[in-house]
Amino acid sequence: VTRHPFDRLPGAAALDERDQEFRAGIRALLAEHPAPPYDSAEMGPSIRAAMAWQGTLAAHGYPVPSCPRAYGGVERSPAEQLIQAEEMAAVGAQFSVNIAGISMLTPLLLAHGTDQQRERWLPPVVAGQELWTQLFSEPGAGSDLFALRTTGTVAGDVIRVSGQKVWNSWATVADHGILLVRTDPDGRGKRGISCLLVDMATPGITARPIRQMNGTHEFAEVFLDDAEIPLANLVGELHQGAGAALRVLAAERSGLSMGFYALLAAEFEALLAQASTARLRRHEDAVLDLWIDLATARLGALRLAGGGTGEAAAMGIAAAGKMGVGDMSMRLAYLRADLLGPRLTGYPEGDRLAAAMAEQFTGALAFSLGGGTHQMQRNAIAEGLLGMPR
Ligand SMILES: Cc1cc2nc3c(=O)[nH]c(=O)nc-3n(C[C@H](O)[C@H](O)[C@H](O)COP(=O)(O)OP(=O)(O)OC[C@H]3O[C@@H](n4cnc5c(N)ncnc54)[C@H](O)[C@@H]3O)c2cc1C
């Protein structure tokens, strides 16, 4: 078993000498600055420690988001972003820390924001100082996002917002949120939606944690009661926020497929190192099947990194990648149970590794829902990749 899972996955031929140098650089930096441990029971402090660590990587020239120098970052090629995700996963970094800031806000503002908005909001994400949440889903609007009913009314230089959001990851500890509201009461579907950046400490905003069956409370439901948001925090045009929202969803899906593939490949390698030879033999087919799919996921990520696929096909590949990681996450959870057996369920108190594995087991299904369900990804693949009718 090698230390670095990514050395023995296929795809090296798609990376050139500069990419390999980049890998050596980030690997050396990570050896000097180990990732802080993540403890979901101490969610807030754990996330802040991980963000501070991301800030250290940025200070050494390896910021997590790809972001222009003008906003404190470094612009990275997709291949370099993939390599960084792999190397961070290999040292046990929680890739999803500040995913809303890194994989959603950054591409959103680069495409739709004003210079002032980029100057205000991007440098603190690069430096690991400000935590973001995504305020999109509502009790009646998930897959059908544009059925959202939270309203925003312009009043002078503010927008007054009322409504409810749900399933918002890290909203109880986040500094800011990307919020979708309906500002045109006569608008239907995508028409009449606006995208706002909100300070979670704004009077009228309350985030209540949702306790999950695996003991964590990553999610929140967020209530907005006549909260006043500065009009200056509007991203793009009033009533025209659907394009910005779709940009966020696409970026989220690509970020999830790349980041989760790396995380799963690293967890897979760690699992092989823990399992006994006898159990590995007994579950050989499942081990090999999963390895083949991880290898395929990597090749898909490299294909996206290589560019030239066209936007619709890229959306389809990202959807396939997102669906793939959702599926592999569950298979890895079952394989872990098969390989480690009773240690997974009957673990003694204080066995932190086993507790973390049990948490992963109960949480594995989440990846097939978050960022759009499997069924919605299938729709994207059918339309974007296969050219089938809507
Ligand atoms: C881990 C995780 C993290 C999340 N984080 C956030 C977050 O930070 N911010 C946020 O705003 N939201 C977040 N969500 C919410 C997530 O976006 C929604 O759960 C998701 O979009 C599905 O919406 P829903 O739960 O309302 O289910 P529904 O949309 O009600 O779907 C119910 C079922 O119907 C199926 N279905 C619905 N429409 C169609 C269709 N057109 N074709 C075929 N099948 C369909 C779905 O696939 C699903 O099986 C998160 C969810 C998870 C699990």
- Protein residue with its CA nearest to atom 27 in ligand 1: 142
| Average pLDDT score over residue span 372-382 | 89
pTM: 0.93
Instruction: Quote the strand ranges of the chain, DSSP E.
Output: 132-135, 151-155, 158-165, 176-182, 193-199, 205-210, 219-230, 234-235
pLDDT of residue 88: 93
Residue 63: pLDDT over 70: yes
| Average pLDDT score over residue span 368-388 | 87
pLDDT of residue 128: 97
- Protein residue with its CA nearest to atom 31 in ligand 1: 143
Q: Quote the distance between the C-alpha of residue 256 and its chain's center.
A: 5
CA–centroid distance, residue 256 to ligand 1 (Å)? 15
Residue 383: pLDDT over 50: yes
- Looking from the CA of residue 170, the nearest atom of ligand 1 is 8
CA–centroid distance, residue 326 to ligand 1 (Å)? 13
- Protein residue with its CA nearest to atom 16 in ligand 1: 370
Residue 112: pLDDT over 60: yes
Mapped onto helix, strand or coil, the DSSP state of residue 84 is: helix
pLDDT of residue 2: 44
Q: pLDDT digit string (tens) for 325-340?
A: 889 999 998 898 888 8
Token code pair at residue 241: 């926020």
pLDDT of residue 178: 98
Residues in the ligand 1 pocket, defined by CB under 6 Å = 133-137, 142-143, 167-169, 366, 369-370, 372-373, 375-376, 379
CA–centroid distance, residue 342 to ligand 1 (Å)? 33
**Residue 376 region, left (φ>0) first, then alpha (ψ -120 to 50), else beta?**
alpha
CA–centroid distance, residue 373 to ligand 1 (Å)? 6
